[in-house]
Amino acid sequence: MISRPLARFIAAQRVGHLATADSEGRPVVVPLCFAFDGKVFFSSIDEKPKRASPERIRRAQNIRANPEVALVVDYYDEDWSRLRFVAVRGRARILHSGREHARGIRLLRRKYPQYRAMRLEERPVLKIVPWKVFAWEAS
């Protein structure tokens, strides 16, 4: 579904924006650190300060109520001929343990040195499996 050049672009970006919706369809968008393996996305509900416990933060509640999500990964430049983005629609799951959980943590730690000092093994990991991908670039 995702070409190698597009996968390289996605993997090189440092942040995406995740959209979830609650059971009544009310949307929430949050910035998201992520790792992409060419097929699926992983993100940790990490130790950065949050107003609620990992299970009670809005994105986790929304995913439990409605696992359909959208993720935008983009590149911005003042030279608008270089603008580029990828919009993903997918299905999210919250992982608490197991092989996929551990794999997500390995990929995230490889990409973000900050995660190497966090106890991610004790934290939920989001797994997003895309079912639709749209890419756009100005040039």
**DSSP track, 102-136:** HHHHHHHHHH-GGGGGS-GGGS-EEEEEEEEEEEE
What domains lie within the chain, and their CATH numbers?
Answer: 4-137 (2.30.110.10)
Kindly report the pTM of this predicted structure. Answer: 0.91
Q: What is the pLDDT of residues 59-105, one digit of tens each?
A: 889 999 999 999 999 999 999 999 999 999 999 999 999 999 999 99
d(CA 19, CA 63): 10
Closest by Cα among 69, 12, 18 to 44: 18
Work out the pLDDT band at 46, boundaries 50, 70, 90: low
